[in-house]
Structure formats: C-alpha cells, structure tokens
Structure 1
Amino acid sequence: MRHDQNTALEVRTSAAAVAAPMLLVPFALLAALVVGRWAPLHDLDRSVSDRWHDIAHANPGWVDALTWMTHLLSPTAWRLAVLGLVIWLARRGARPVAFWATITMIAGGVLGAVLKLLVSRHRPEFLEPVAQASGYAFPSGHALNAALGATVFLLVLLPMTRGRPLARAALWTGAIVLPLVTALTRVGLGVHWLSDVVAGLFLGVAVAVATAAAFSRRGVPEPVSG
C-alpha cells in the first residue's frame, strides 16, 4: 500500500454530484409526508410499530439483544469509530481526507439535530413500553449516524480493496448491514417510527456523498491504495 496523492476519492465528483440529490429526494418526500401528517404513512408507521411492539413484549430476550445492539451501534460509537479512522488517516499523511471525514460527521450530526427540532415529531407511545428514548423522532439520529459513519468508512477504505474481491464484498456488506441493523433496533425497541429510520438512512448517505463531491472538486486525494 502507498499514499496516493494523484487520484480523487473512489466516488468520482460527477457520480457523487448526481447521487446526492437522488438520495435526498426520498428523504425530502418522507419529511414532507411526515410534516403534512399524511394518513397512509401514519397508518403504516403505526402498524409496523404495533407489530414489533407485540413481538418485543412476547420475547424479552429479543429486547435484550436489541438493546445491546442499539448501544453498540449508537451515534457515539460511530463517532468514536470515525475518530479512530481520522487519527489513522492523519498519521498516514492523508490530512485532507481526515478533514473531510471530520467535517462530514459534524455536518451530519448538526443537520440531524436541527431537523429534529424543525419537524418536532413525537416518538411512538405504548402503554407498556420496552424502552425509552428522549427527544424528537424524525429523523432517527441512530440511523443517520450509522449511515453517515458507514459511508465514510466505505469511501475511505474502498480504494484499498482493488484487486481483492472478498475484501471489497466484506466492506460493502458491512456498510449496508450495520446501518440496517441499527435502524431495526430502533423500530424493534419502539422508540422510532419506520419512516424515521428510513429517512435517517437516506439522509446519512446523502450527506456523506454530497461532502465527498464537494471535497473532490478541491482535489481531496485518496488516502491509500492497494
């Protein structure tokens, strides 16, 4: 492996510039439907939440597993993981990419917090909840930060997997599965609606791709290749 200061991030500027708006479209649609209190979406959210709540109540072990996973994949855990990545990048001399990863996590976190306040959607309520969470619901901070962090790792590490199909497949699998598992834990514990976590996933990926496109225009290099 060697430093590569002559190539752009794995996702090319043009592709990222197209992908970011495409990812923002479903998020914006969900946000509009939530704010507009569209009945079919509300009914779907309630149906899914009620079903998962019944499953959780009937399976205490399932609740324990979901609780463990939701803590393991919390926003704080993702931020610490990316911090470790940033330190590794900085030590390898890839400071522009380290800066991009830092700004991306901060921007996504701030955007999610602001949107929660703007939308002010209440979380699901049950007579006998299996878990509690504070703050507003939309978008899910857990899902957003999981998608954000996973995409950062994917964009940074993907160049290292050239010519290594198994490693590339494992990286893609982790980047997809971990955010989905994170989202599942939030709905399964009854602290988020389905549309909250779906919106968080789309927004997290969109923010990471958008910042990658913006930084690529400034010539941000790949950190490593292999």
Structure 2
Amino acid sequence: MRSPSPPVSPPDRAPARAPTVGVGIVCGSLALVLLILVTVGWSPLMSLDRTVADALHRRAVTEPGLVHVNRILTDWVWDPWTMRALIAVAVVGLWLRGARLLAGWVAATSLLATLLQQGLKDAVGRERPQWPDPVDSAHYAAFPSGHAMTAVVSCGLLLWLLRRHGAGRRVWWAALTVAWVSAIGVGLTRLYLGVHWLTDVLGGWLLGAAVVAFSVAGFARYDERGRRGADGSALPRRP
C-alpha cells in the first residue's frame, strides 16, 4: 500500500518578487542619476535637452492641426486627472468586491506617486522651456513630468490588477498595448508642445516605473506574510 503523499507547500514567491524589485532598483537608480545631472546642470545633457526642444518647436509652430491633436490628447485623454479617475474607478470596484486591502494599497500608491512628483518639482525647481511663440503653456516646475509619471504609475497599476485577476489573453494584450501607447504617447505630447524637456519626461517614466515595481513587490511580500501562520504553514488565500 502506497503511503500518502506529503502535503505540497505553496511555491515560494521570492523568485517572482525578485525581478520586480530589480526593476524598481534599476529604474530608481537611473532616475536618481538623472535627477543629479539635471540639478547640477550637466552640460551635455542640457545641450541634448535644448537640441530636442528646439527641433520639435520649429515643427510645432508650422503644424497647428497637429498641435491641436496633441493638446486634446495631453489635456483630456492622457491628462493626469483622467489617469487618476481610472485608478479611482478600480479602487472603488475592488472595495465593493471586498478586496479592501488591495484597494487601499492601489490608492496609497497613486497618492504616494503624486506626492513624490510634486515634492521633486518643488525641490528641483527647474524652469520649463521658454518660447517667444509658444504653442501651449504649463505651470509649476518642470522636473519630473507629471503627465509622464502619472501615466506610467496608473497604467502600471491597472495592468497589475488585470494580471492578478486573471485577464484573458486578448484582454491582456489589448490592455498592454493601450498602456504602452498611453505612457509613451503622453510623454511625446509634452515634448512636442514645448512644455517639457526630454529629461523631464525620462525622469517621469523612470520614477513611475520604480514606484509601481516597488509597490507590486511590497504587496506581494505583505500578502505572502498574511497567508502564512506563525509556524510558516500556509493559510487560505484572502479575497
């Protein structure tokens, strides 16, 4: 008679967390380096910023129709408040389904990203590009780009939620495509409209990716601890 098989323990999630933490470390480190270079005004980087800004502005002043399209995209479709509204809908949906810890975590991550973004803007105090014939205007400091950072954070969190809830293959790839187009597209609109430097947008992308990566890794660790007993045995998964 065969002896009963030993209970199978749940897989260790540390390897799954490691890449996410690694992404956060890499993006956060690159963002820090970029922040330092922008703060000290490293000449080669400032020259690149000016070259890109001048080239795009020369085109923008001759293309009013394309400027109008970019303004609609940046002010309505990919506006930070639009992105935060999507997060708010997701948070309410999670709360109503009983996943209140996850809802609070997503809301807190979005809020933390906004506070980090505004704090850095105030600390760096970088001037936006100035033009004698501007095609658009923006207020407050330039670094990092709030549009770019908010888009990455919001899209990253929504993709994470879709993955956690087992989105189908088609839904996943459609959402992934929309997220990439949104995050990259909003950064390009800010550059084309002449309201940000290239490094502002890069900084927003990197900081947004770092925030999402650390948030996802942090929740995975917290969730894993919550599902284990004091002796290390697995507990039933919470909704």
Q: TM-score, normalised by structure 1?
A: 0.89
Give the match for residue 196 of structure 2. Answer: 192
The structural deviation recorded for 1:166 is 2.5
Q: Does 1:118 align with 2:123?
A: yes
Q: Deviations over 1:79-106 (max 9, x none)?
A: 1110001011111121111111100100
Contact 2:162-2:172 at 8 Å conserved across structures: no
Unaligned runs of 5+ in 2: 1-9, 228-236
Q: Does 1:149 align with 2:148?
A: no
Contact 2:142-2:200 at 8 Å conserved across structures: yes
SS, match of residue 181 in structure 1 = helix
Contact 1:131-1:191 at 8 Å conserved across structures: yes
Give the match for residue 100 of structure 1. Answer: 105
Unaligned runs of 5+ in 1: 1-5
Where has structure 1 moved over 4 Å in runs of 4 or more? 6-9, 220-224
Which one has a bigger Cα radius of gyration? 2
Contact 1:108-1:207 at 8 Å conserved across structures: yes
Identity of aligned residues (%): 33
The residue correspondences of 1:16-27 to structure 2 (distance < 5 A) are 16-27=20-31
The residue correspondences of 1:29-48 to structure 2 (distance < 5 A) are 29-48=33-52
Which moves more between the two structures, 101-110 or 85-94? 85-94
Counterpart pick for 2:62 among 54, 58, 62: 58
CA RMSD of aligned residues (A): 2.3
SS, match of residue 200 in structure 2 = helix
Distance in 2, Cα, partners of 1:211 & 1:128: 42
SS, match of residue 180 in structure 1 = helix
Task: With a CA cutoff of 8 Å and minimum separation of 6, indicate the structure with the bigger relative contact order.
Answer: 1
Give the match for residue 167 of structure 1. Answer: 171
Which moves more between the two structures, 77-86 or 17-26? 17-26
Give the match for residue 109 of structure 1. Answer: 114
SS, match of residue 217 in structure 1 = helix
Contact 2:27-2:210 at 8 Å conserved across structures: yes
Q: TM-score, normalised by structure 2?
A: 0.85
Q: Does 1:210 align with 2:194?
A: no
Give the match for residue 144 of structure 2. Answer: 139
Residue type at the aligned position of 1:47: T
Contact 1:100-1:212 at 8 Å conserved across structures: no
Aligned length: 217
